[in-house]
Structure 1
């Protein structure tokens, strides 16, 4: 799973939030002009405009065409990803437990041949790396197997929520499994059964098996 790097616009948005939080830019105050912001933060016009757009969506800034950009709030709703990053792993695991069976059931109905090929690819990589005790590669293949199922479910919002939860759980794998793949060898059979249910469009059984996997009752 690749680590997503922040864009220049996101970095500028964060620095603007810091300035607003520290009263560098007060509520009701007009931000400096685009050229001035470009000079302050050392970035191009497109990055400044994108950063302002990000903070407008968050309800922190308000852009009045022909007048300027004004600070209207210090508070922004914390993103789901940020909340999960702060959450206990047991809480994130509970989110995954609630989602897995639904996602698997929907994937069994909605999947296409491209989805099946992708799911099977990560299933095979999971087995290969588990047998070779290549822990980090095995953990990543396992995460991508489940993400491929989420992709196949056809619900973009479910997929994004699951993606965030999986990223958080992935970070705990090394500690939890002590850099070992033995449990992944044991669970390869039930993961194969899950793939077969999705391939065979058996949504009820896919739901049951997915729940067994997340509850580790196999």
Structure 2
């Protein structure tokens, strides 16, 4: 089984462990070595799964103290609909700006590198780093607009987007791998097909 599949299984195993042991907010998980042994998984795989659950507010990792069940369940404020609508509006506005200016070759190369890194991390099952790299790819699209207000507003969405994407990773059976869509989005921007890019942005936010 590849790394991605192992992390998927470990996230599920951890959630099951918490439920079966009836762990509640504030209670501490066993030490990493003990938990890895009990779940019969590698420590690096366990560490990756814990990162995702931490990003999703399921777990609270406290440096030097251990890992605890979070006091606050996952909540989305603003609502998911409001968050994704704001994201879509800003990304679409950014590609509209691109239609009025010439993209810098160096910036397009950086965008391609960000896309490659995103896809690689997803394939390897490094989900916590994947989420960061996915947001970095979208942030670079907005940055191409060179509009300081769009960039500022998108930066303000990043913490909520990170929380939302982390929660989506927990829904392993329903999680949509949009790698092909992201590749097409990059190609549309490079080709200057900004109408297609806007459609792909909408599709990504509603998939």
With the shorter chain as reference, the TM-score category is 0.5 to 0.7
Count of residues paired in the alignment: 131
Segments of structure 2 that go 5 or more residues without pairing to the other structure are 1-75
Q: Which residue of 2 aligns with 1:195?
A: 186
> For the structure 1 residues 210 and 110, does the alpha-carbon distance in structure 2 shift closer, same or farther, using more than 3 Å as the test?
farther
Distance 2:173 2:133 in 1: 12
Is residue 153 of structure 2 the alignment partner of residue 158 of structure 1?
Answer: no
Q: Distance in 1 between matches of 2:173 and 2:102?
A: 31
Residue 201 of structure 2 corresponds to: 210
Match of 1:114 in 2: 106
Q: CA-to-partner distance for each residue in 1:174-201, whole Å, 9 max, x for gaps?
A: 22211869846x3111101111111111
Highest relative contact order (Cα 8 Å, sep 6+), 1 or 2? 2
Q: TM-score, length-normalised on structure 1?
A: 0.54
Runs of 4 or more consecutive aligned structure 1 residues displaced over 6 Å after TM superposition: none
Secondary structure of 2:116 counterpart? helix
* Residue number in structure 2 paired with 1:176: 168
Give the C-alpha shift of residue 99 in structure 1: 2.1
Pairwise CA RMSD: 2.4
| Residue aligning to 2:34 | none
The 3-state SS of whatever aligns with 1:133 is: coil
Q: 1:215 to 1:86 in 2, by over 3 A?
A: closer
The unaligned stretches of length 5 or more in structure 1 are 1-84
Larger radius of gyration: 1
Aligned pair partner of 2:119 in 127, 131, 134: 127
Q: TM (normalized to structure 2)?
A: 0.57
Segment of structure 1 superposing worse, 144-153 or 195-204: 195-204
